[in-house]
Structure 1
Amino acid sequence: MSTLGSFIWSIADQLRGPYRPNQYGNVILPFTILRRLDCILEPDRDTVRELASKYDNPNRLKVEVSKATGRPFYNTSNYSFANLLADADGLADNLTDYVDRFSADVDVFEYFDFKKEILALEKAGLLREIVKAFRAVDLHPDNVSNSDMGDAFEYIIRKFNEAANETSGDHYTPRDAIRLLVDLLFAEKDAALTEAGIVRTLYDPTAGTGGMLSLAEEHLLAQNPDARLGLYGQEYNPQSYAICKSDLLAKGHDATNIAFGNTLTDDAFKGRQFDFCMSNPPYGVDWKQYAKAITKERDEAGPYGRFAPGLPATSDGQMLFLLHLAHKIRAPEDGGGRVGIVMNGSPLFNGGAESGPSNIRQWLLKKDLVDAIVALPTNMFFNTGIGTYIWILDNTKRPDRKGLVQLIDGASCWTKMRKSLGSKNRELSEADRARVAQLYADFTDADPDYSKVLTNNDFGYWTITVERPLLNETGNPILDRKGNPKPDSKKRDTENVPFTYGGSTAGEAGMVDVIQAYFDTEVKPHVPDAWIDWTKTKTGYEIPFTRQFYKYVPPRPLAEIDADLEKQVAKILDLLREVEQ
């Protein structure tokens, strides 16, 4: 994963004893951030100190520092890694002074409670050795690229989580998966993104350590070095937030664009919309503790609120982020926007007709927002082997994609890794990503084993309730006051009728005719006394991805199976004879 990350983590060996393994990250992560910023600041440290002596106002000082160095942040302390070790007795106080004198936008060390860790290290007699070890690591961007730095952070966090034995639904997105997501996210806009001086915005509501934001920017700048991509994100994990913010600070981005907090209960960018949105939300994590606030927001916001289409089960909040992003993309009249989100399989089909998840899918499809869904290989993530899918949403589809959804089975597009990393033993090579991207660009059914293009109506269905009469002891139907047969609840059944049954293209408008045709053909011949209770008919939407790519494999001939069994029996008998002898 990261040679640098492995080296930095090795520094944690010095913490053994006073610190437990699950506490190493509390020291290693903030020190890595501090050393990274220290290396960036070092060339202009004297200039900044001179400016600090002239300007007392922090806002004026920030402006002057930006003019002189081109950086949006600074540190006015007389200390740095270059001279901290010169005063052995004052090391803890001097290091604290160094941390305190960053500009106000560098609040990242507060989220580690770093000053408390400094005192704990001093008390344990470890502070000098840790400072000395990090001083020996040159983390200047000229020597350690932003990509390598991101890999190092994610390696350290993964090791930290392994030591803490964490099994939450937070799955750090591997770089190869992010690159495919970025390829697909920008696919329809690549031509426009090459315009000189173009300015676009990208938003991640589950920013983590900032990997998605960084790789998206890298992708855009590779195409157009003059482009500007404003990066925005929100993260609720304190350590991940601190890493993300410090990483973007180091690259010269506006630090106020990265917010701390829970996106679902406190949208830090309320009212803002973006050109591109991307996310890898937690899987299978319940939102019961937020249910009251989210339900209240839905009720008060009305039909145009972000959660108006429906709410998923409180056992899994993935689809809340899906809805959130659908409401954060720029309006079509302002140029439109696209979303890329990684989720597991449940949002494709969970919940029956008129349940929260079904209503969310219905809203997305009727709004014609779903552009493509791509199945990723299993064993792609570090701490889970489950199947995952990339959803691409677009509110300004090009004409030939309107009203259609492309399903791409990329589950077989992978390369075996030389060394497994946790559950991850497969990766998407550049060729694998190019294969999926080409399938998306071709937008055809010509290769049905890997790509299907379906209409939005292909995912709709009605759940109908089929009743049969309640019989009395003589075998005759029991009638109600109006002379109609009473239904027997024990014989009650439900059937799912596709919108497209019988080749119908009418969608929801064809409900009566399509259901009646289905009933007359599929039900009535088998149970002549049955009828439909139309009052119980429900409309549902699901995306049966696996069913679309299902390949029938006929069972082996019985003679072949019998032959294999006889061989195995013969082997067993031979072994028994050897034992008897």
Structure 2
Amino acid sequence: MSSDIKSLSSFVWSIAETLRGDFKQSEYGKVILPFVVLRRLDCILEASKPAVLAMAATLSDDLDDEARDTLLAGAVGQDIRLYNLSRLTFASLKGQDPKDIHKNLLEYITKFSPNVRDIFLDKFLFTDQLKRLNDAGLLFRVFDQFTQIDLHPEVISNLEMGYLFEELIRRFSEISNETAGEHYTPREVIRLIVSLLLVNDREALTGSGVIRQVYDPAAGTGGMLSLAEMEMKALNPRIRVELYGQELNPESYAICKSDMLVTGHDPENIAYGNTLTQDAHRKRRFHYMLSNPPYGVDWKKYADAIKDEADTQGKNGRFGAGLPRISDGQLLFLQHMISKMRNDEQGSRIGIVMNGSPLFTGGAGSGESEIRRWMLENGSVAQIL
């Protein structure tokens, strides 16, 4: 990480200190991370604002939503599917009466394209945080500090933005006793997994025109995906890395999807929902898969759908090898990942973080034992750390 990014991270961290007393430390990320995303998007869209507004003025009210989104995103002139129809920007908002900042920010956020509105309104619940900031008399002060950060793409690259976002997530996770275990896997562990995944593929990843897909079925805030891309880019700056994931927790999903937005990836590749019952990437196969699924979490709430798939689809489905005990779903995630391995010459590699339980729980004939036997007999042995 460059000294500039470290300096920028420290400045953003200092903004979080403004919240002390009115917000708990574990709540800092709920305010700061959405503001970082908002500022990045403002910088990305600033130059194209006149073109987007001009395009919007020409569109008929009878035009269907998909066509409208395509035309408006096209007016942005970049390889991103997002836009903002508000005439406001951070620069113009700063020039408005500070008393109107709450109203103006709400107007600004609600004029984003639907895929961005969903992140701020439904997953981050950012309007609640804006109201809290406004009620505490802090909103304009926090907003004004973010206007001092230059996150234009020509100043902060997508790769550098990824470093910044990952560093902030790490810091906020470390001070949040409530959510750190759910949201953050230590980067040292992720780097080890990625190194194991890539160790025999270094030559294949070099050169021009190389494309690889990476997937995390329990994506959390996206740290594994981001670091995997960074390591692959370090091997070959010209490689194209496509990131995919799915996440059940709405706030984690919002952070992960935001990370895709601010680093130039397709945010639609990150799905919301339960991977085990609503596979959003059903027909896809991936070169690399890595994940840190929840330990010792029961799947009782989803048992009917999982058992139904196992019974009706058998080995043609994801869970045909067997079902683990209801108290721990780790082996369900592993079977799900194995089902997404490629059958071509490039094949796939899986790295998954587990506790020891799936390695030895269950006697002969049990669900766990049958899953392990099936993995060995079919040669589908992942790196289990």
TM-score, structure 2 as length reference: 0.86
1:266-288 CA distances to partner (integer Å, 9 max, x unpaired)? 11111222222111111222222
Give the superposition deviation at 1:54. Answer: 4.1
For 1:262, the equivalent position in structure 2 comes to 274
Distance 1:27 1:372, change over 3 A: closer
1:119 aligns with 2:131: yes
Cα distance in 2 between the residues matched to 1:62 and 1:371: 40
- Please say if residues 205 and 236 of structure 2, whose CA atoms lie closer than 8 Å, have aligned partners that are also in contact: yes
Distance 1:18 1:218, change over 3 A: closer
For 2:90, the equivalent position in structure 1 comes to 81
For 1:104, the equivalent position in structure 2 comes to 114
Cα distance in 2 between the residues matched to 1:271 and 1:319: 21
1:210-244 CA distances to partner (integer Å, 9 max, x unpaired)? 22212222233333333322211111121221121
| Structure having the larger proportion of residues in strand | 1
Give the superposition deviation at 1:258. Answer: 0.7
- Please say if residues 214 and 243 of structure 2, whose CA atoms lie closer than 8 Å, have aligned partners that are also in contact: yes
Q: Which of these residues, 244, 250, 275, is aligned with residue 232 of structure 1?
A: 244
1:320 aligns with 2:322: no
Give SS of 1:201's match. strand
For 1:156, the equivalent position in structure 2 comes to 172
Please, what is the CA RMSD of the aligned residues? 2.5
For 2:369, the equivalent position in structure 1 comes to 358
Equivalent runs, 1:443-462 vs 2, <5 Å: none
Structure ID, larger Rg? 1
Distance 1:309 1:272, change over 3 A: same
Give SS of 1:232's match. strand
Give SS of 2:221's match. coil
- Please say if residues 29 and 156 of structure 1, whose CA atoms lie closer than 8 Å, have aligned partners that are also in contact: no
Equivalent runs, 1:147-546 vs 2, <5 Å: 147-159=163-175, 161-162=176-177, 165-166=178-179, 170=182, 172-330=184-342, 332-333=343-344, 335-370=346-381, 372-373=383-384, 389=385
Cα distance in 1 between the residues matched to 2:162 and 2:215: 19
Match of 1:210, as an amino acid?
Answer: G
Cα distance in 2 between the residues matched to 1:158 and 1:239: 16
1:398-442 CA distances to partner (integer Å, 9 max, x unpaired)? xxxxxxxxxxxxxxxxxxxxxxxxxxxxxxxxxxxxxxxxxxxxx
1:51-74 CA distances to partner (integer Å, 9 max, x unpaired)? 444456322122232xx2343322
For 2:64, the equivalent position in structure 1 comes to none
Distance 1:4 1:153, change over 3 A: farther
Cα distance in 2 between the residues matched to 1:253 and 1:127: 30
Give SS of 1:343's match. coil
Give the superposition deviation at 1:366. Answer: 0.6
Cα distance in 1 between the residues matched to 2:324 and 2:274: 18
Give the superposition deviation at 1:150. Answer: 1.4
Q: Which runs of 4+ in 1 moved over 4 A?
A: 1-7
Give the superposition deviation at 1:173. Answer: 1.6
Cα distance in 2 between the residues matched to 1:166 and 1:219: 26
Match of 2:102, as an amino acid?
Answer: A
Cα distance in 2 between the residues matched to 1:283 and 1:371: 17
- Please say if residues 208 and 241 of structure 1, whose CA atoms lie closer than 8 Å, have aligned partners that are also in contact: yes
Distance 1:137 1:216, change over 3 A: same
Match of 2:87, as an amino acid?
Answer: N
Distance 1:334 1:23, change over 3 A: same
Cα distance in 1 between the residues matched to 2:16 and 2:229: 32
Give the superposition deviation at 1:175. Answer: 1.9
Cα distance in 2 between the residues matched to 1:272 and 1:278: 15
1:40 aligns with 2:80: no
Equivalent runs, 1:552-563 vs 2, <5 Å: none
TM-score, structure 1 as length reference: 0.59
Give the superposition deviation at 1:335. Answer: 4.3
- Please say if residues 307 and 320 of structure 1, whose CA atoms lie closer than 8 Å, have aligned partners that are also in contact: yes
Distance 1:309 1:74, change over 3 A: same
Cα distance in 2 between the residues matched to 1:63 and 1:369: 43
| Structure having the larger proportion of residues in helix | 2
Match of 1:100, as an amino acid?
Answer: T
Equivalent runs, 1:45-60 vs 2, <5 Å: 45-55=49-59, 57-60=68-71
Give the superposition deviation at 1:260. Answer: 0.7
Give the superposition deviation at 1:152. Answer: 1.3
Equivalent runs, 1:129-148 vs 2, <5 Å: 129-140=141-152, 142-143=155-156, 144-148=160-164
For 2:101, the equivalent position in structure 1 comes to 91
Cα distance in 2 between the residues matched to 1:225 and 1:299: 45
Cα distance in 1 between the residues matched to 2:13 and 2:299: 33
Cα distance in 2 between the residues matched to 1:320 and 1:291: 11
Distance 1:152 1:24, change over 3 A: closer
Give the superposition deviation at 1:365. Answer: 0.5
Cα distance in 1 between the residues matched to 2:235 and 2:179: 39
Give the superposition deviation at 1:333. Answer: 4.3
Residues paired across the two proteins, number: 367
- Please say if residues 248 and 255 of structure 1, whose CA atoms lie closer than 8 Å, have aligned partners that are also in contact: yes
Cα distance in 2 between the residues matched to 1:17 and 1:172: 25
For 1:62, the equivalent position in structure 2 comes to 73
- Please say if residues 72 and 252 of structure 1, whose CA atoms lie closer than 8 Å, have aligned partners that are also in contact: no
Match of 2:111, as an amino acid?
Answer: R
Give SS of 1:102's match. coil
- Please say if residues 349 and 382 of structure 2, whose CA atoms lie closer than 8 Å, have aligned partners that are also in contact: no
1:71 aligns with 2:80: yes
Give the superposition deviation at 1:327. Answer: 0.5
Distance 1:16 1:148, change over 3 A: closer
- Please say if residues 246 and 272 of structure 2, whose CA atoms lie closer than 8 Å, have aligned partners that are also in contact: yes
Structure 1: tracts of 5 or more residues without a match: 374-388, 390-581
Give the superposition deviation at 1:22. Answer: 3.9
Give SS of 2:271's match. strand
Structure 2: tracts of 5 or more residues without a match: 61-67
- Please say if residues 92 and 119 of structure 1, whose CA atoms lie closer than 8 Å, have aligned partners that are also in contact: yes
Cα distance in 2 between the residues matched to 1:339 and 1:195: 23
1:303-338 CA distances to partner (integer Å, 9 max, x unpaired)? 3221111222222221111111011111x2474222
Give the superposition deviation at 1:116. Answer: 2.8
User: More relative contact order in 1 or in 2 (CA 8 Å, sep 6+)?
Assistant: 2
